[in-house]
Amino acid sequence: MSKNIAGPKDVDKYIARVPEPGRSTLNKVRATIRSVVPAEATETLSYQIPTFRYQGSLVAYAAFSNHCSFFPMSMKVIRAFKKDLEKLDASKGTIRFPLDKPLSAVLIKKLVKARIAENEAGKRRG
């Protein structure tokens, strides 16, 4: 059996592996998300990237070699904030931004709050 190089086991280790300036950017994004998620939200690695969970997957973020990404995990939310995203590098499920420039905290908070509301509404229906 061949040995694969293991990825990080938790979010802190993931972020610690990211070179600057991406590490500082991810820490800012993480702190902004944490400032609005409910106390019972959890943070984990899913698909090898930091993911917040609250009544299901909520949002995720990651660093890549040339950019960072924020994943709202909802096409509905991306469509709802189309105007806010029009000057950003956004696609179906990803908002990309420079390694040295985090997304605006105001935008992150809006997206996270929308996802919280979406997950809570889904749980009420289910």
Q: What is the CATH number of the domain that holds 114?
A: 3.90.1150.200
Query: Is 2 within the bounds of a domain?
Result: no
User: How many structural domains are present in the chain?
Assistant: 1
Helix (H, G, I), strand (E, B) or coil at 115: helix
Is 13 in contact with 43 (CB distance < 8 Å)?
A: no
Span 75-89, average pLDDT: 93
Q: State the Rg of the chain over Cα.
A: 15
Predicted local distance difference test score (pLDDT) of residue 122: 85
Query: Is 1 within the bounds of a domain?
Result: no
Residue labelled with tokens 């993480």: 30
For 21, phi then psi, to 5°, come to -85, 0
> How far is residue 85 CA from its own chain's centroid?
15
Write out the residue range of the structural domain in which residue 67 sits: 11-125
Is 72 in contact with 29 (CB distance < 8 Å)?
A: no
What pLDDT digit, counting tens, does each position of 29-78 carry?
999 999 999 999 999 999 999 999 999 999 999 999 999 999 999 999 99
Q: How many Cβ atoms are within 10 Å of 10's Cβ, its own excluded?
A: 12
Structure token digits, residue 69 = 């990404």
7 band by pLDDT with thresholds 50, 70 and 90: low
Is 105 in contact with 113 (CB distance < 8 Å)?
A: no
